[in-house]
Amino acid sequence: MQLIVKRLDTDLPLPEHAHPGDAGLDLLAAAGFGLEPGERTMVPTGLAVAIPMGWAGLVVPRSGLAARHGVGVVNAPGLIDAGYRGELKVILVNHGDEAVSFERGERIAQLVLVPVAGQELVEVDELPPTPRGEGGFGSTGR
């Protein structure tokens, strides 16, 4: 699959996979910023993409940032629909106990493309039964 990419900030490199076969493309911060404990901010990436129809982009946290600093994506995963053509932005939050700072060009999140099935809604009075039924939110124990 080709992912058409437009660099809005031509001084930043294109995103890339850290290793062959990796699912996520590293997204970079287009500006330096800091996050105090409990603070969140929207970070521009200097990048726009044309996700093919039938696909969606998921913006997911980088595991290293989460493990080392408690930094994650607020609305993880962030959803990018195929029709969106604006700048990709990442809403980060600091769940850690210490302030953290990021420099311009630092990896802040990952973009993962996933297939999306089309849906046709069919309204019914009753849903078909399953062994699970309405059990949820802890219904299987701790």
State yes or no: pLDDT of 136 exceeds 90. Answer: no
CATH of 4-115, one of 2.40.50.100, 3.30.70.260, 2.60.40.420, 2.70.40.10: 2.70.40.10
Reported as a single tens digit per residue, the pLDDT across 6-54 is 999 999 999 988 899 999 999 999 999 999 999 999 999 999 999 999 9
Smallest CA-to-CA distance from 27 within 94, 107, 114 is with 107
Mean pLDDT of 66-83: 94
d(CA 28, CA 43): 9
Contacts of 97 (CB under 8 A, 6+ apart): 37, 70
| 100-109: average pLDDT | 97
Counting every residue, how long is the chain?
142
- Chain mean pLDDT for the chain: 94
Q: Are 73 and 35 in contact (CB under 8 A)?
A: no
